[in-house]
Amino acid sequence: MRGGKHLADFARATFQDWVSWIQLRFEKTGWKAESARALAILTVSTMRGLALYYLATKDRPGAKLSLNAFGRLLPERRGG
């Protein structure tokens, strides 16, 4: 990536902020911390990947369809 260390630090920090926020929401629905973190990383990575896909292709319907498909894969609650 261009932009050097400052951009890399910003990207890392914002990624971690989103992961922490989403992890907390998964934990509140019953996921254990380790599983909630893994699912949060997957969720943030998927959303960022689809954003990059859209920017590269301008395929809004495809990006939206994929995001909806990913959302259907997420379980609502995971006990234990």
pLDDT digits (tens, 9 = 90+) for 6-34: 677 777 778 999 999 999 999 999 999 99
Name 55's Cβ contacts closer than 8 Å, sequence gap at least 6: none
* Residue 41 or residue 74, greater confidence: 41
Alpha-carbon gap, residue 18 to 22, rounded angstroms: 6
Q: According to the model, what pLDDT value does residue 80 have?
A: 41
Tell me: pLDDT of 78 over 60: no
pTM of the predicted model as reported, rounded to 2 decimal places: 0.78
Q: According to the model, what pLDDT value does residue 44 have?
A: 95
Name 63's Cβ contacts closer than 8 Å, sequence gap at least 6: 50, 51, 53, 54, 57
Tokens of 75: 């379980």
Cβ proximity of 7 and 1 under 8 Å:
yes
Q: According to the model, what pLDDT value does residue 40 have?
A: 96
pLDDT digits (tens, 9 = 90+) for 39-53: 999 999 999 999 999
